[in-house]
Chains A and B, each alone.
Chain A
Amino acid sequence: MNHNQQLNEVKHEDESALTDFLASLTDYTPTIPDELVEHYLAKSGFQCPDVRLIRLVAVATQKFVSEVATEALQQCKARQATVVRDKKDKQQRDKRLIMNMDDLSKALQEYGVNAKHQEYFADSPSAGMESAPRDE
């Protein structure tokens, strides 16, 4: 009996947390506009008239993007740190943090998105391969 009561209490807490959170979403304006989210959700068959759920999806996406961006920023800063050590010159240090394709692809790799560029393109399958008969 106690166990059940405890479970029920926990459930109520969770539900209240959820409802509170959803209520707070009505005040919070996510950076990604609602219309954009609605447009893309409609494309995939998502039907819901409730604004709070749209906001929930928008917030989730915003969180995802910020996480990827944070990861890329860390990569960028790490790259700059190594560069500074080599040059030993503060003036040459690029103070502006610019998002590169390299940093972004590494960050996306963590999240399971393969966004790599080809490092080089070869003319033919045997380009760059050393021919065996030359080795003696």
Chain B
Amino acid sequence: MSDGGGGESSKEIEFRLKKRKKNDEFAQAIARIAVAQVCESVGFQGFQQSALDRLSDVACKYIREIGKTSNFYANLAGRTECNVFDIVQGLEDLSLSQGFVGASDRDNCLSGSGIIKEISQYVSLSEEIGFAYSVPSFPVIKERNSTPSFLQTGETPPTDAIPPWLPRFPDPTTYTSMPSASTEEAQMRPDRIEQEHKVLEPASSKLEQRWAYTESELPVVDQGDNVGRERGSNPFLTTPLQPGEKEISLVPLPAKLKEEDTVQSHGPWTNHVSALDTFAPANQAVKSSGCDAEEGSRKVLLNNRPALQMKFRIGKKSLDIANRHDDKRKEVVSWFVNDEVGDAKEKRTEKLPREPMDIEEHTGNDSVVN
């Protein structure tokens, strides 16, 4: 069957076909067997696989088409349930291309339609062939044990805003307690889908919604397990710790890291210094002050928490200055003042050159520091 799917990409078509296959494989298989039996009674002895698939597909579509047209005629008459006349009208619509006796008659009563006569003729002439296998009624609908409502369990909802006919909340133990056997966790997942939809707590709702989306893709049908079962040890479901509840140990930086820091901090300095040859006198000052800065940074690292690491970056001069230890506050102020006073040019040539300038001033103001 060539549908008019000109605008679809091949991937979309493949996906659609796969989806169709997944849902309907059982029905299609039965249709194939039935069609093969009918063709065998007609006289065929063998089939090409593709031809059989094609014909069974057409037969299924035919059934659906009859259903559609019959439903249409029933709705047209203001009914939802179809009766024999709706089916006859539907069949007439489908057989118009082939034609039947009395197709052109206007006032024909439906009960005397040519279609019925042809079908009754067919029934009387053809031999009755039963289906080869016994078919169970499908699709099988699994029974879901839905959670009972507040009324059914005799509970009262916690707030007035919740009407009592809604399903009740799950046991608090199912979503607050932690330590249980992890083996139960796999079984918890199916009923978690149900429970998560009903938990109203905003704190964990987002996380659980994400779960519900990911887990609804699993081919697991709701098992309607007991709500009272505890959840597995899932750290994401635990209540968050209050600040100060748990002791956090301070992490002292090992000596290696400190050196690396200073090396890193020297890196940008040297680069920028080399780029700025105009500040020739600064070069020497930088080198000489490098040792001082190193010592200073070491002091900084020893005193402050490790979060305050001295990394000198472009464009964040103010931050760096803020991070430097308090001893140099005076220089901070002085540095700022100098910058404002300085030329616009200097300001423009990246903020970096200020770093060596700072060092220069640092060395210049040795007396202040020491």
Contact = CB atoms under 8 A, between A and B. Distances in A.
B370 interface: no
A13 B111 CA distance: 9
B131 interface: yes
A41 B34 contact: no
13 contacts: A11-B112, A14-B111, A14-B112, A17-B120, A25-B123, A42-B67, A43-B67, A53-B83, A59-B122, A65-B62, A69-B42, A69-B44, A99-B51
Contact of A36 (B31, B66, B82): B31
A124 interface: no
Contacts of A116: 2
B57 to A, nearest CB: 9
Given A35-B30, A46-B68, 14 more contacts: A18-B111, A31-B130, A35-B135, A36-B34, A40-B64, A44-B71, A46-B82, A47-B82, A60-B119, A66-B38, A69-B55, A104-B55, A114-B2, A115-B2
Interface stretch (A79-87, A105-113, A125-133): A105-113
B51 A24 contact: no
Given A41-B63, A111-B97, A48 B51 contact: no
A61 B51 contact: no
Interface in B44-94: 44-48, 50-52, 54-55, 58-60, 62-68, 70-71, 80-84, 87, 91
Nearest to A34: B135
B38 to A, nearest CB: 5
A112 B97 contact: yes
Interface stretch (B136-144, B211-219, B248-256): B136-144
Given A99-B47, A99-B52, A46 B67 contact: yes
Interface in A15-56: 15, 17-18, 21-22, 24-25, 28-29, 31-33, 35-49, 52-53, 56
B43 to A, nearest CB: 5
Nearest to A24: B123
A52 B119 CA distance: 14
A17 B110 CA distance: 12
Given A17-B120, A36-B34, A104-B55, A48 B47 contact: no
Contacts of A111: 97-98
B46 A96 contact: yes
Nearest to B126: A66
B39 interface: yes
Contacts of A78: none
Interface centre among A21, A100, A103 (most CB of B within 10 A): A21
B55 A41 contact: no
A59 B131 contact: no
B368 interface: no
Contact of A59 (B50, B97, B111, B119): B119
A1 B137 CA distance: 53
A15 B137 CA distance: 32
Nearest to B132: A31
B37 interface: yes
Contacts of A46: 66-68, 70-71, 82
Contact of A113 (B1, B80, B109, B128): B1
B30 A36 contact: yes
A25 B128 CA distance: 11
B109 A14 contact: yes
B98 to A, nearest CB: 7
Contacts of B115: 60
Contacts of A76: 44
Contacts of B122: 59, 62-63, 66
Given A31-B34, A115-B54, A15 B111 contact: yes
B27 interface: yes
Contacts of B293: none
Contacts of A60: 66, 91, 115, 119
A67 B87 CA distance: 20
A16 B129 CA distance: 26
